[in-house]
Amino acid sequence: MQILVVEDDLSFAQVLLKILSEDNAVHVVSGIGSAVNYLSSNPADVIVSDFRLQEGDGHQLMRFLATLNPAPPVVMITAFAEKEMAIASINLGVFALLEKPFQPEVLRRAVARALNAGLNGNRRALNSESAEIKLIAELSAVECEGQQIILTQTEFRILTLLISNAGS
């Protein structure tokens, strides 16, 4: 699979490259402009991007990706996970949001889920009126339509926040 990493911190980009390159082809770029240039002539099955970049932020990247059809799923990473930023990221279509620091396996699982969702076309919006959602706090998981999905702690907190504020 083709993974595009967007990270302006070269040492952290190397860490991400090492974590992700075991089973995937990984290309690293240092900013949004470089990502746009790369994606204009190269496919990406998933994008892993830092939220705060020198030339902008992850929301700008997401707005560009919305112009692609199909847009690859995005795993956003950040050291500054704030409620407003997280909600805006989810609204813009971020597949997963990981808060630094995280264990390498957490990133690998998030990327695997994003790859699977992108390949299977599962990036559909969940309508809470037609699907029953059960949160499993002990596992940081969600059960929906009979399928259990393990989430990162950040994903679980965001989902809990979104469900508790639905309709407000």
* pLDDT, tens digit (0-9, with 9 covering 90-100), for 37-68: 999 999 999 999 999 998 889 999 999 998 88
For residue 29, give the amino acid letter.
V
Residue that has been written with the tokens 């699977």 in this structure: 116
- Written as six digits, the tokens of 11 are 């040492």
Q: What pLDDT shows up at residue 122?
A: 38
Rounded Cα distance, 107 and 19, in Å: 8
Q: Pick 17 or 140 by higher pLDDT.
A: 17
- Asked if 97 and 76 count as a contact pair (C-beta separation under 8 A), the reply is yes
Q: What pLDDT shows up at residue 125?
A: 37
Indicate the average pLDDT of the chain: 84
Instruction: Say whether 20 sits in a helix, a strand or coil.
Output: helix
- Asked if 4 and 19 count as a contact pair (C-beta separation under 8 A), the reply is no
Tally the C-alpha atoms within 13 A of residue 127's C-alpha that lie toward its C-beta.
Answer: 2
Q: Pick 102 or 163 by higher pLDDT.
A: 102
- Provide mean pLDDT across the span 105-133: 67
Rounded alpha-carbon distances, angstroms, from residue 12 to 29, 41, 57 = 12, 25, 17
- Among 39-43, 90-94, 117-121, 156-160, the range scoring the smallest mean pLDDT is 117-121
pLDDT tens digits along 130-144: 456 777 777 777 777
pLDDT band at 151 (very low <50, low <70, confident <90, very high): confident
pTM over 0.85: no
Please, is 158 exposed, middle or buried when counting C-beta atoms within 10 Å of its C-beta (0-12, 13-18, 19+)? Answer: buried
Rounded Cα distance, 153 and 48, in Å: 18
Rg (CA), the chain: 16
Q: How many helices, marked H, and strands, marked E, lie in the chain?
A: 6, 10
Residue that has been written with the tokens 């996970």 in this structure: 81
Q: Pick 118 or 8 by higher pLDDT.
A: 8
